[in-house]
């Protein structure tokens, strides 16, 4: 059996519930120290329309460019005299009123890319738009801190680039019990026995055996820590609600995981945007509200920070299909009890000063947000992980 066959068989056997870490030596002494801070990262996949999320209801340019999809002032959840929430965000408005939300406007990066895949890679790796990195910013955090694989968990069937490092990767786990049981299948038991019987060296299965040791150890730890803790909260019966319920269970059980990653898909609204975005924003806001309430009841929200982003925004001008096409800068949501500046963090998009393509200009580089979280929340050297020094913001 060679490495290619091994990886193929283990992937099929586990249903994609974990990603095999690369170049991992499971028996090394690990200096990882859990500081009890948790970061929950949520991606709104497809490019959420920020202008119809935080609506500039006093701006005539907004209504002129969006005659078919603009939201009227009397339907909005007013935040101040200039902007209001999309009406589907009522649960988020409650959190905003409690000082638990900071809205950062005009977030993007130089020379933006409008491809879903490429722009997602840029956000996940924290690269320049013309730079192609093979590791994610959270993966490099794992490498730098020499963390264990369960320090970062994606609640999905496969692992995103964000959680992949050079020497260490996070784990993709949809269900703790399923993850644990998948590594107790006869195939894996036979493999461990085969290794012990043959004493295979690092050039054959030794390398892969060590990755399996780490995965099996992590699955046992996650399963045992979460087995006695279940959530009584009623989450929405959809995939995103299920993801947040799993993350809440992991956090409330005391799992020593620092970063969680989940996603809500469907925001590529080229046609029929109004109804589609309304439903998706309601799913997001309702799920987030229940998630935070669940953590608060278990006294764990005080140590949790939630970051919500989308790979890009949408064009200012609506298209001919009552939708919007790929744009550039967008808003980012930060939720937590430790916000220095809640509410509207900075100025709204300038609709009178667009780029050559008619898109919004960014004023905050998304890596400034990452740098702030790394430095002020996770307490690590942000420039070492981001490969460059970025300004820190003042939201935490």
Q: What is the pLDDT of residues 341-351, one digit of tens each?
A: 999 999 999 99
Q: Write a three-state SS string for the chain.
A: CCHHHHHHHHHHHHCCCCCCCCCCCCCCCCCCCCCCCEEEEEEECCCCCHHHCEECCCCHHHHHHCCCCCCCHHHCEECCCCCEECHHHHHHHHHHHCCCEEEEEEEECCCCCCCHHHHHHHHHHCCCCCCCCCCCHHHHHHHHHCCCHHHEEECCCCCCHHHECCCCECEECCCHHHHHHHCCCHHHHHHHHHHHHHCCCHHHHHHHHHHHHHHHHHHHHHHHHHCCCCCCCCCCCCHHHHHHHHHHHHHHCCCCCCEEEEEECCCCCCCCHHHHHHHHHHHHHHHHHHHHHHHHHCCCHHHEEEEEECCCCECCCCCCCCCCCECCCEEEEEECCCCCCCEECCCCCCCCCCCCCCCCCCCEEHHHHHHHHHHHHCCCCHHHHHCCCCCCCCCC
Q: Give residue for tokens 């994609």.
A: 16
Q: What is the pLDDT of residues 325-383, one digit of tens each?
A: 999 999 999 999 989 999 999 999 999 999 999 999 999 999 999 999 999 999 999 99
User: Does residue 53 have a pLDDT over 50?
Assistant: yes
Structure confidence at residue 209 as a pLDDT band (50, 70, 90): low
Average pLDDT over residues 185-211: 56
Q: What pLDDT does residue 201 have?
A: 53
User: Does residue 74 have a pLDDT over 60?
Assistant: yes
Structure confidence at residue 210 as a pLDDT band (50, 70, 90): low
The two tokens of residue 143 are 């490498």
Q: What pLDDT does residue 178 have?
A: 81
Q: What is the pLDDT of residues 8-34, one digit of tens each?
A: 444 433 434 444 443 333 334 344 567
Q: Structure pTM? A: 0.89
Q: What is the pLDDT of residues 116-133, one digit of tens each?
A: 999 999 999 999 999 999
User: Does residue 4 have a pLDDT over 70?
Assistant: no
Q: What pLDDT does residue 374 have?
A: 98
Q: What pLDDT does residue 240 have?
A: 98
Structure confidence at residue 179 as a pLDDT band (50, 70, 90): confident
Return the higher-pLDDT residue of 207 and 46.
46
Q: What pLDDT does residue 328 have?
A: 98
Q: What is the pLDDT of residues 154-175, one digit of tens each?
A: 999 999 999 999 989 999 999 8
Least trusted range by pLDDT, from 148-152, 182-186, 344-348: 182-186
Q: What is the pLDDT of residues 253-303, one digit of tens each?
A: 999 999 999 999 999 999 999 999 999 999 999 999 999 999 999 999 999
Q: What pLDDT does residue 300 have?
A: 97
Instruction: Give percent above pLDDT 70 in the chain.
Output: 83
């Amino acid at each position: 059996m060679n490495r290619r066959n091994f990886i193929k068989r283990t992937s099929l056997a586990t249903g994609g519930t974990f990603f095999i870490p690369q170049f991992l030596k499971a028996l090394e002494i690990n200096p990882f120290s859990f500081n009890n801070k948790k970061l929950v990262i949520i991606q709104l996949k497809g490019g959420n329309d920020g202008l119809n999320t935080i609506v500039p209801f006093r701006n005539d340019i907004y209504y002129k460019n969006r005659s078919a999809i603009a939201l009227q002032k009397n339907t909005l959840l007013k935040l101040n005299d200039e902007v209001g929430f999309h009406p589907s965000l009522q649960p988020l408005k409650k959190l905003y009123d409690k000082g638990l939300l900071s809205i950062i406007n005009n977030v993007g990066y130089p020379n933006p890319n409008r491809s879903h895949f490429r722009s997602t890679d840029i956000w996940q790796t924290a690269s320049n738009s013309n730079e192609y990195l093979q590791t994610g910013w959270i993966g490099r955090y794992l490498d730098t801190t020499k963390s264990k694989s369960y320090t970062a968990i994606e609640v999905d069937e496969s692992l995103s680039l964000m959680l992949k490092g050079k020497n260490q990767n996070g784990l993709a786990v949809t269900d703790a019990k399923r993850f644990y049981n998948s590594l107790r299948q006869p195939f894996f038991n036979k493999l461990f026995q085969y290794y012990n019987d043959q004493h295979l060296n690092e050039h054959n299965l030794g390398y892969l055996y060590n990755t399996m040791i780490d995965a099996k150890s992590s699955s046992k730890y996650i399963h045992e820590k979460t087995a006695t803790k279940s959530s009584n909260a009623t989450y929405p019966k959809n995939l995103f609600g299920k993801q947040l319920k799993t993350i809440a269970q992991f956090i409330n059980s005391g799992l020593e995981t620092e970063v969680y990653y989940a996603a809500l898909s469907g925001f590529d609204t080229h046609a029929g945007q109004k109804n589609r975005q309304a439903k998706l924003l309601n799913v997001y806001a309702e799920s987030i509200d229940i998630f935070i309430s669940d953590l608060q009841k278990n006294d764990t929200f005080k140590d949790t920070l939630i970051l919500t982003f989308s790979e890009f925004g949408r064009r200012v001008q609506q298209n001919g299909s009552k939708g919007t096409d790929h744009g550039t800068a967008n808003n980012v949501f930060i939720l937590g009890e430790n916000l220095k500046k809640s509410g509207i963090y900075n100025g709204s998009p300038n609709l009178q000063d667009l780029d050559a393509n008619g898109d919004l200009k960014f004023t905050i580089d998304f890596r400034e947000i990452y740098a702030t979280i790394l430095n002020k929340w996770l307490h690590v050297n942000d420039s070492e992980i981001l490969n460059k020094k970025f300004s820190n913001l003042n939201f935490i």
